[in-house]
Amino acid sequence: MTPFDEQYRQAIADIMDHGFDIPNPWSGRDTKMLPGVTLRVDVGESFPLLTLRKIPLKLFVAEQVWYLMGENRPDWMRTYTKIWDDFLESDGTIRAAYGYRWRHHFGRDQIAGLVDHLTQNPHSRHAVVVTWDPADDGLAVDTKMNLPCPYSFTVNIAGGRLHLHNIVRSNDMILGCPHDAAGFALLQCLLAERLSVLPGVYTHSISNAHIYDNHYDAAREIMRRTHEHPPVKFTAPSGAFHRATQGDGALVDEIFQQLKSQYQPLAPIENLKITVNVY
């Protein structure tokens, strides 16, 4: 199995076998949960695409482009999915839109600042992007449509490669984790392209890794599966970072086709329902 498949399947087994039974009052569902779960893959060797079941490739590709655009309205994303419409506030914006938080919310462009900082100081340990707003997030939670789940990431350059450590507050392991890992590994590749280095290690650290009760059968199915899939290799197209910030739809198609040409997953698991208002 690929390194990501192997670690992911083990994490699912650990949660199902040893997880705490925790109710989720906002969704009305029960979960099994483990704290402090980490997945770690060398993106240069094997891009973290889950192959134990089929996942929608174009969705996470488009989402990362939308993030880098810095938008807090889902108009551009509706070409690919309407999932973000579930999180609209009354004014038509998404309060915790990741890209907007990265590029506008705190009064500065954290992504542009990160690129400039690492261009001037490639060995810096200060390249941190924060999504969580302590002035608002986590307070009066019942009044919010959503809160950031991946809430901070750190970028380091070492050995001529760019490494990204993503800190995730809360991760739905069946639907959210594979999507987030692939998406942020893609972000890592886009940043590496902009900084003229190779992508390195992607680390996905989850504070609350959980499986919803309506996904328990899917989890058991994943635990039974094995798949001898060759490593997926990804190379960001030239100028990909800049094109992403401009919302270049052709870039989405290029990345999708590069990944699709190598992607031979096992069958999808049917009837997986997204749980909204989960916090």
Which residues are annotated as catalytic?
A: 149
Q: Counting Cβ atoms within 10 Å, is residue 204 exposed (0-12), middle (13-18) or buried (19+)?
A: buried
What's 192-241 look like in SS3? HHHCCCEEEEEEEEEEEEEEEHHHHHHHHHHHHCCCCCCCCCCCCCCCHH
CA–CA separation, 139 and 153 (whole Å): 22
Could you tell me how far CA 275 lies from the centroid of its own chain? Answer: 17
In this structure, are residues 251 and 69 in contact, taking their beta carbons and an 8 Å threshold? no
Beta-carbon contacts of 272 under 8 Å, excluding residues fewer than 6 positions away, are 174, 175, 215, 218
Q: Counting Cβ atoms within 10 Å, is residue 224 exposed (0-12), middle (13-18) or buried (19+)?
A: exposed
Residue 140's region, left for phi above 0, alpha for psi from -120 to 50, else beta, is left
Is residue 3 helix, strand or coil? helix
Helices (H), the chain: 3-18, 57-69, 98-100, 110-120, 176-194, 216-224, 240-245, 249-260
Q: What is the DSSP pairing of strand 161-172 with strand 198-212? A: parallel
